[in-house]
Amino acid sequence: MKRLIFIVLMLSIAGWSMAAPQMPQPKVVKINERVYALLGPLGVPSKHNQGYMVNSTVIIGEQGVILVDSGASDEVGSHLRKAIAKLTPKPVTHVINTHHHGDHVLGNVVFQGAEVVSSEICRDMVNKTGDEWVALVESLIGHKLPNTRPVPATVTFAGENSKAERTIQGVKLVFWVPPGSHTVGDMMVYLPDDKVLVGGDILVNRTIPVMRDALVKNWVGTLEQVQGFDAETIVPGHGPLMKKGDVAKLQRQMAGFHAGVEAGYKKGLSDSETRKTLDVAEWKKLEGFETNIGGNVNRAYLEIEQASF
Ligand SMILES: [Zn+2]
């Protein structure tokens, strides 16, 4: 009998430890009466975070909610919907995507009936790369996502390098599509009455910018333009909320990085030789340094090489 109890106990402990880890709760930051940031943990999608690692912005309008960025899967989308339900009983009527990367768009699928807004290029990129993103997230979190499928935008407002102003649910929104920076098809969302700017991954905090799909030179210029907005609160794609001073710092780092890679190229160094010459002390302390610095140098180097042909 004792032995049986022991076996049952061991099995239940094993079962318990094998259960999927819980998705971390968002850090909810109230910006004003109608705007909240839901900050996800830093890092890449993993077994540990179950794919939840993105920042989202919740804008509570007259009849419904506008959500900016929906997470890396239907599971993350549902998780965000639960968090939103704690803030307001109003339904999500609009989902805005800042760019096509899976961690920002694959939660769209749970907001059925909502209008999905992005830039035109982002919509096309979701169509083109969405399935690959689902497979990538599945491999990172270690389980299948049978209910996740890419849902591209149903509406686009601004073409590349332009701004469009719309009032949605009584909230004035400026959709700004800068020249492709973190990705082709980036879009930022500015709320002039709230002085809030939602940056997507053009703006990141305490984690290094990821340039795998980037146009690095454009990005430096976009960061300069960001500082021209009358924004008191800036919601980055990942990490804690930012102020304009943080944007200036990021711009300085990005500009220095780009100039360093360019100098290496001009000296005839290879990309790996160039990497050794860069001063990246400030980024070394940040999340994602080891996993991204090589790819970042490579991307910037190729861009500079292509431009000089
Ligand atoms: Zn992201």
Across the range 33-44, mean pLDDT stands at 97
Element of type H or E holding 189 = strand 188-191
273-282: pLDDT as tens digits: 999 999 999 9
195-216: pLDDT as tens digits: 999 999 999 999 999 999 999 9
pLDDT on residue 203:
98
CA of 81 to the centre of ligand 1 (A): 19
pLDDT on residue 34:
98
Evaluate whether residue 5 is within a structural domain: no
Evaluate whether residue 274 is within a structural domain: yes
Average model confidence (pLDDT) across the chain: 94
- Write out the two tokens for 288: 């994602």
Range of 64's domain?
21-307
Distance set, CA 211 to CA 41, 46, 220, 277 (Å): 20, 20, 12, 19
- In total, how many domains does the chain have? 1
CA of 118 to the centre of ligand 1 (A): 15
283-303: pLDDT as tens digits: 999 999 999 999 999 999 999
45-92: pLDDT as tens digits: 999 999 999 999 999 999 999 999 999 999 999 999 999 999 999 999
Evaluate whether residue 10 is within a structural domain: no
Q: Which amino acid is at 190?
A: Y
Which residues lie at CB < 5 A from ion ligand 1? 103, 201, 237
CA of 19 to the centre of ligand 1 (A): 27
CATH of residue 248 = 3.60.15.10
User: What does pTM read for this prediction?
Assistant: 0.92
> Over pLDDT 70: what percentage of the chain?
94
CA of 103 to the centre of ligand 1 (A): 5
The SS3 assignment for 247 reads helix
